[in-house]
Amino acid sequence: MKNYLAYILSASILCASCSSNRELTADYYRQNEATLVSIKDRFKKIHRLHPFSFEVRDKNYAEVGIEIITDSIRYIYHFNPGENNLADTLKAYRFNVPEMLSLFADMKQMRCTWITNLDYYERGQEKFMVFLSLRHNKLGSKRKEKYFTVAFFDQPQFFDNKGRLLDKEKSRTIRKINGQIFYKINNRACFTLSGTFR
């Protein structure tokens, strides 16, 4: 009986913790929505002309990575943001350097660790989603860090009564992205808490 009560108590604490983390994260999004949407919109605009992904490889933003996608090859570069070779590389691939550096500065301010565009198919049509991860300093612990990951869709999505992203309208199938369940922010954006930054 004692073991059963301990199990119930542990499960209740875990559920309450998950729920409070989700509320905390949803609040974080609401407080920073303008900046996050601006990062997403500028990324999409640049990505249409020059497909790329961007990552931060350490907590101090001392090493960043950029994946530049051409017609046939993906080039992956690592930089110290203070060095000229980042701007030189962006210029060589015909990016708008001030626009890119401004985007990176806002990503640094938000502690963004990863941004990319994911394509997927729905009813035979290609769709796109911007995938953005951030370090969340109020989540996780010293031993295990948590990342706040937002998926921005171009079209409205469907959610169940618990706010979980669904596979399609009138479906009970939960749609997972990278093996994670995502929760509703609004009808085009949802989030999850993850142990990995991408």
Question: Who has greater pLDDT, 50 or 196?
Answer: 50
Q: What percent of the chain has pLDDT over 90?
A: 43
Query: What is the overall mean pLDDT for the chain?
Result: 81
Which residues, listed in sequence order, are joined to residue 118 by a DSSP beta bridge?
129
Q: What is the mean pLDDT of residues 64-91?
A: 87
pLDDT at 124: 79
Flag whether pLDDT at 18 surpasses 60.
Answer: no
User: What is 31-56 written as a DSSP string?
Assistant: HHHHHHHHHHHHHHHHHHHS-EEEEE
Strand partners, 128: 119
- Highest averaged pLDDT of the listed ranges 5-14, 127-136, 182-191: 182-191
pLDDT given for residue 126 in this prediction: 83
Model confidence at 160: pLDDT above 60: yes
Taking a C-beta distance cutoff of 8 angstroms, is the pair 133, 113 a contact?
yes
- CA dist 5 and 11 (Å) reads 10
The pLDDT of residue 10: 39
- In this prediction the pTM is 0.81
More confident position, 83 or 7: 83
Written as six digits, the tokens of 162 are 């618990």
Section 153-169 average pLDDT: 90
